[in-house]
Structure 1
């Protein structure tokens, strides 16, 4: 518990650092695009390569992989529907509500409180999650933004192909499936950059964060977060009670669903042309709520 709380406090402090630096004029909000480029093209791919070296493929783990993808698609639909209903940009609404921050938030929790074997099912859920988080959700959002009448499969594929994190994750999972490991020298090298990923991602969130929100905006943030939590609660109920999986795996699926919104969601919202601080504010709020959920789950599973 101490490790999880300490890490969460660290996240909050780095977000606060980014916010204070922006307020004091050390960094401009426009500079967030530089940090997002570093995260998406350097530190996140390196973190993916380093973390997936622990993957060992087993037959039943195809189900957690599929569920990671499915959970994203359901959240995409919920976010798209809410934005349409509220008269806002549907593409941004889809993007800011979806995805799970497992690599930089949930994995340390699992490593601290569950046996080492538990890591595999979480990584496989994250593999399906990564398919959407690292390109899939953005591809859907971008395609729907350009063509409201239908989804362009060609545009979807092109956006996935251009996503460096997605290509790296796909390569890493394929290597694990064929039991091909990277040389220790390469793993050690990418770990250096990968370890910087949580710091840069949280610093970027702080730069994008805007605490000057009125009561209506604050209510909307709580509405969006409640909508996401309600969707994940329903998914968790179905996953835990009805899936033919070992109890430990079902518990870990609940932990994955309790994860914060993907840290790259505000990056892609920015890429879609969003000038609002709502994606970053929602992301930061989800981190605090997820910490409470993690502690609650630990109480029941311990």
Structure 2
């Protein structure tokens, strides 16, 4: 237990270091994008390749990807119904974007690297394959449809359908340009066909994998934002309460009820307790919704998830 607490404290200190270095001017706003590029295109792909190389893959594990896709759709339905129930129909697009999606590669995987076995890492990466579909534009496409329907003028139904098609095309382009997703897909083929990975590649990816957690936590610190307007406090509380009430329930069901090996169930617990997807603020801004509110929710969810994942690791290990 001490090891888990010390590691969680170390992650918090690295995040705090990123916040501090940004405050004193060592890092600037644009440096967040630089760190994100390093993470998404170098250290995270290394972590994926190295973790995939350590397990004996079975086709049945692809059900984890299917589960992830199902959960993403379910979260969007929950966002829709909770917004309607509270009489906040205009919040439906924002809630769909900011309730669905999990920050796996930037947050969950670095945590898992430190504590879980290779099979668990595979489970998390397979979950992220499904997660990638709605984090890379799927949720935005659905949110855009609802936003257009709320403000629809009679006779503009065809334009709305065109916008949906354009949003789905955007998602396809995002996936085709997403280095982590392409590496997931490529490694899946390598494992299915049982193609051996050269030893030199494994040596290089091991080094990159070891740097992934530090890079991820430093990036989170540099991008950390807290800017809550008075009239947005209730919205922040509602989003976060709904999000974690649902995902904690999912985590409990996954661990105690699903017929997967223990390592996969542990992976699912960490995946479900992960923060809101890091791309949410950018997509919220693109949809001309409240970017600052989305960034604040995203940052607070990271702090909550650190506590929940630490507690879950103490219980499970």
Shorter-normalised TM-score: what interval? 0.7 to 0.9
Which deviations, in whole Å up to 9, do the C-alpha atoms of 1:87-141 show, x marking residues without a partner? 4582685156421433112343324xxxxxxx425523431323423x5422214
Matched, 1:109 2:124: no
In the TM superposition, residue 15 of structure 1 has moved relative to its aligned partner by 1.6
What is aligned with 1:5?
Answer: 5
Paired residues for 1:149-160 under 5 Å: 149=160, 151-152=164-165, 153-160=168-175
Query: What SS is found at the alignment partner of 1:54?
Result: coil
Give the corresponding residue for 2:204.
189
Partner of 1:38: 38
Aligned length: 294
Equivalence for 1:227: 242
**SS of the residue 1:74 aligns to:** helix
Quick check: 2:46–2:208 contact (8 Å CA) kept in 1? yes
8 Å contact 1:80–1:91 — kept in the other structure?
no
| TM-score relative to the length of structure 1 | 0.78
Q: 1:24 aligned to 2:8? A: no
Q: Any unmatched runs of 5+ in structure 1?
A: 112-118
Per-residue Cα deviation, 1:251-294 (whole angstroms, up to 9, x for no partner): 55334323344456557667777883544543443344334434
Mapping of 1:182-261 within 5 angstroms?
182-213=197-228, 217=232, 219-240=234-255, 243-245=258-260, 249-250=264-265, 252-261=267-276
Secondary structure at the counterpart of residue 197 of structure 2: coil
Q: Which region of structure 1 is more displaced relative to structure 2, 150-159 or 42-51?
A: 150-159
Q: Report how far residue 16 of structure 1 moved.
A: 1.3
- Are 1:261 and 1:286, in contact at CA under 8 Å, matched by a contact in 2? yes
Counterpart Cα distance in 2 of 1:194 and 1:225: 31
Q: Tell me how far 1:161 sits from its aligned partner.
A: 1.0
CA-CA distance at 1:249 after TM superposition: 4.7
In the TM superposition, residue 62 of structure 1 has moved relative to its aligned partner by: 2.9
Cα deviation, 1:222-260, whole Å, max 9, x if unaligned, reads 432221111113334544565444566545533432334
Provide the residue aligned with 2:154 in structure 1.
none
How far is the alpha carbon of 1:47 from its aligned partner?
2.1
Deviates more, 1:205-214 or 1:16-25: 205-214
CA distance in 1, matches of 2:201, 2:260: 35
Cα offsets for 1:150-188 (capped at 9, x unmatched): 542433322211212111111112211222232111121
1:116 corresponds to which residue?
A: none
Q: Which structure has the bigger radius of gyration?
A: 2
CA distance in structure 2 between the aligned counterparts of 1:214 and 1:74, rounded to whole angstroms? 29
Q: Which moved more, 1:203-212 or 1:162-171?
A: 203-212
| From 174, 180, 202, the counterpart of 2:195 | 180
Give the distance between the partners of 2:316 and 2:42, measured in 1 at CA: 36
Aligned alpha-carbon RMSD (Å): 3.5
1:286 is aligned to 301
Among 161, 166, 184, the alignment partner of 1:169 is 184
Gaps of 5+ in 2: 149-159
Kept after mapping to 2: 8 A contact 1:100/1:257: no
Q: Deviations over 1:19-38 (max 9, x none)?
A: 11222222222432222222
